[in-house]
Amino acid sequence: MHIPEKMKAAVLFDLGDLRVTEVPVPQIGAGEVLVKVEAVAICGSDPGIINKGWKGYPILGEFIPGHEFTGTVVKVAPDVFELKEGDRVAVEPHKGCGRCENCLKGLYTTCLNYGNYELGHRHYGFSTNGGYADFAACHVTTLHKLHDSIGFDEGTMLTGAGTVLYGYERIGWVGAGETVVVTGPGAIGLMSAHIAKILGAGRVILTGTRENRLAVGRELGADITINVREENVVDRVMELTDGVGADLVVECTGQSAPAAEVLDFIRKNGRISFNGIYHDPVTLQLDKIVQWNLLITGPKAEGKLNLKRAIPLMADGRMDFKPLITHHFKLDEINEAFDTFNGRIGGSIKVIINP
């Protein structure tokens, strides 16, 4: 493919000021691949990155955000043998430095050299330029081949799916037949409910405030939904579990009060995964965690190659996130896309941009 010298990209010129402009197509270095971006999804973390920045983000005027993307390989560095021109790929946002203790243990989403470009760390769309552009330079270790049956749009949701799977891995997966409560029907919550069923949950209970989101949750496999505006979550979960409580709670609201409340409907020896983005401190009854032998974890993004794990599940249709895709925009319309996402206009859940 002929690769132009210039491309369109959404560049963050100042905090809160994202604009589409012309920039040079990125050069690829050793181990890197040039990806023609086909689809990129707006993530719930993007508005925060755009308005407040991110630890070690590239300089304003050059920073291209966007981290949930798929594309086509158009060029590979001479030392890349794993991929070839024309391959369809999903991009994993995290590339660890590969030399720190955490990376050597496979825990590259918690790389000890986070943001250190010289030492090889990359976090596309966060500390390194990402996918709101025609092209992106990505390290070969962050690229995973898409099966033919996975469309580029749906493939953007592999990043979220990988994060959800990593959350389940961290908390000891889902035991067959277990009762799983997922709080908060944002994209990650809805994916968590869907994936809990794939992993063998007996019953998935999804909580939330918006009926249209809870309806999507039921479509994706939630057995029971609780509208917290109408019902008391603690009472209802305890009633549904004969007074014992849930085996596993996946907290996805990111809000302090519901996050603290999960301790009121978890069972003794239960497990809690905190998967939200918590801007405020959360007060937890630590004594209960000790006395009730609880296990609590949090997943840092799509760790331990869980994005790759999600691909065959999506390829054969078991994992189907097409109901989450509500809107499409072109790159030139990126600010309208963000307004739609932020304002939840038209019941927006996942908003896709196709450069």
**Contact call for residue 97 and Zn ion (CB under 5 A):** yes
Q: Is the dihedral of CA 41, 279, 319, 35 positive or negative?
A: positive
The stretch near Zn ion (CB under 5 A) out of 40-48, 71-79, 248-256, 312-320 is 40-48
For the beta carbon of residue 256, count every other beta carbon within 10 angstroms.
16
Helices (H), the chain: 46-52, 101-104, 152-155, 158-170, 187-198, 211-219, 233-240, 256-261, 286-291, 306-315, 334-342
Q: Read off the amino acid at residue 331.
A: L
Q: Output the DSSP codes for 89-139.
A: EEE-SEE--SSSHHHHTT-GGG-TTTT-TTTT-EEBTTTB--SSBSEEEEE
The whole-angstrom separation of Cα 212 and Cα 347 is: 7
Minimal distance, residue 42 CB to Zn ion, in Å: 9
Rank residues 100 and 165 by Cβ distance to Zn ion and give the closer one: 100
Q: Which is nearer to Zn ion, 100 or 319 (CB)?
A: 100
Can you tell me the distance from the alpha carbon of 137 to that of 29, in angstroms, rounded to the nearest whole number? 8
Q: Which is nearer to Zn ion, 54 or 173 (CB)?
A: 54
Stretch of 97-105, 174-182, 334-342, 347-355 lying at the interface with Zn ion (CB under 5 A): 97-105
Shortest distance (Å) from residue 172 CB to Zn ion: 24
- The answer to whether 100 contacts Zn ion (rule: CB under 5 A) is yes
What's the min distance (Å) between Cβ of 107 and Zn ion?
8
Query: Per-residue x/- marks for Zn ion, 105-134, CB under 5 A?
Result: ------x-x---------------------
Site for Zn ion in 189-248 (CB under 5 A): none
Nearer to Zn ion, 69 or 135 (CB): 69
Minimum CB–partner distance for residue 93 and Zn ion (Å):
7
Residue of minimal Cβ distance to Zn ion: 43
CA angle 187, 91, 153 (to 5 degrees): 55
CB-nearer residue toward Zn ion: 112 or 289:
112
Residues 6+ away with beta carbon under 8 Å from 194: 220, 221, 319, 320, 321
- Phi, psi (rounded to 5 degrees) for 109: -75, -15
Residue among 109 and 179 whose Cβ is closer to Zn ion: 109
CB-nearer residue toward Zn ion: 247 or 302: 302
**C-alpha distances out from residue 263 to 56, 186, 275, 297, Å:** 35, 21, 15, 14
Cβ 108 to Zn ion shortest distance, Å:
6
In the set 43, 204, 240, 319, which binds Zn ion (CB under 5 A)?
43
Identify whether the C-beta of residue 262 lies closer than 8 Å to the C-beta of residue 245: no
How many residues interact with Zn ion (rule CB under 5 A)?
A: 7
Structure tokens at 280: 């405020």
103 binds Zn ion (CB under 5 A): yes
Q: How far is the CB of 77 from Zn ion (least distance, A)?
A: 21
CB-nearer residue toward Zn ion: 179 or 306: 306
Decide the pairing of beta strands 295-297 and 266-274: parallel
Q: Give the separation between CA 177 and CA 326, rounded to whole angstroms.
A: 32
The least distance separating Zn ion from the CB of residue 205, rounded to whole angstroms, comes to 25
- Using CB under 5 A as the criterion, which residues of the chain lie in contact with Zn ion when the complex forms? 43, 96-97, 100, 103, 111, 113
